[in-house]
Chains A and B, each alone.
Chain A
């Protein structure tokens, strides 16, 4: 079995409890949640509510403000398009994933909003100042990742949230690379938290979350069946159903609940310590290899992600050689054009991202393989 160090894309392997939860759902939850009053439908509805309640509590939210989505991209699109529906000024960071930047630029291109991009620096104060000076009277929302999916850089999101709170601006947070590794509580100033279910929360792919503080209305961008008010031709506006048109991914939702339980059982501190330790060990092993550049600064903190490049070896070529040796790492631009532009990595990077199941000895072996590939290339 190849060794997976591409857990920032999706975690693998999954905990046994997650697999079992999805299997049990497929076997027993055969009714359509929220549709119909028969036994099978009500059983599925109850299971979905229970998962919603558990996950809401996990993030310090209310169940009715916890929306199941297909992934983080789906959640971010609903959040930004829903909040910015009537126009206004939006600020995003220069480290955003395309799931945030593409919808934002599309809205700006169509002249439905005005858009500013705040440059991110290793220094937190400078970053906060970068957002502060872009705020205008018509600024409606700031959309910002909690941790870069390219370098793992943690943004000073609590300070950015405070900026938003002081000015009545909606703070939309992309938690894809932070949830499950850090305690994220929307009570700390996040108005809309969007995250993937299949990364640090260990659910199956096809799962995501949009969690609202309830302070800012989110107009639905997808409309359809919700199982309620069926004779009305208008989409219900109350969460969560307003944003959950169509049949829910019940096995996925059950897997996501089991994933959150798994994270809670181990604890985010322990998960972070384990993964961060592996990242530090990997960096220590590759740092002195001639031509290797690691994209980290002493001035900032990082989620457990390491981006690096090797002189004279394009990232894709290096990742291909590593794949041939049994290591799965992602090379290229990681769906984050803005971030790579900001970093100046014109060919992209190779990204190393462990999970709670990763082993330090595999990171050491991987570093040895990197060293060998670089040595062979520079012969």
Chain B
């Protein structure tokens, strides 16, 4: 299964993104960003499955993110 990790600008946007994706059947979860991620502490959205489609949902709802790794 594909996994992609999106750095989220805040916990608020991370949970908003998680809710939007889960409501559309994309498995995902909010995780605390690892210290090796750069930029300091924050939150990530770990998305499993079709990342390209999932990211399109985030884009459609103007949820900002920075893709860290993985792919669709």
Tell me the A residues contacting B by CB distance below 8 Å.
33-37, 42, 45-46, 49, 52, 63-64, 226-232, 236, 238, 240-241
Contacts and interface: CB of A to CB of B under 8 A. Distances in A.
Contact of A236 (B9, B15, B31, B38): B9
Given A36-B32, A37-B31, A37-B32, A236 B39 contact: no
B9 A228 contact: yes
Contacts, number: 59
A229 B40 contact: yes
Contacts of A231: 38-40
B12 A241 contact: yes
**Residue among B12, B13, B31, B41 facing the most chain A CB atoms (10 A cut-off):** B12
Nearest to A231: B40
Main secondary structure of the interface of A (DSSP, over half): loop
Interface of B: 9-13, 15-16, 31-32, 38-43, 64
Contacts of B39: 229-232
Given A34-B10, A45-B11, A238-B9, A228 B43 contact: yes
17 contacts: A33-B11, A34-B10, A35-B41, A36-B32, A49-B11, A63-B16, A64-B12, A228-B11, A228-B43, A229-B39, A229-B40, A230-B39, A230-B42, A231-B40, A232-B40, A238-B13, A241-B9
A45 B12 CA distance: 9
A231 B40 CA distance: 5
Given A36-B32, A227-B42, A236-B9, 20 more contacts: A45-B11, A46-B15, A49-B12, A64-B12, A64-B16, A227-B41, A228-B9, A228-B43, A229-B9, A229-B39, A229-B40, A230-B39, A230-B42, A231-B39, A231-B40, A236-B10, A238-B13, A240-B10, A241-B9, A241-B10
**Residue among B16, B38, B40, B41 facing the most chain A CB atoms (10 A cut-off):** B41
Given A49-B12, A241-B10, A229 B32 contact: no
Contact of B12 (A35, A42, A229, A240): A240
Given A36-B32, A37-B32, A238-B64, A64 B40 contact: no
Contacts of B43: 228
A230 B37 CA distance: 12
A243 to B, nearest CB: 12
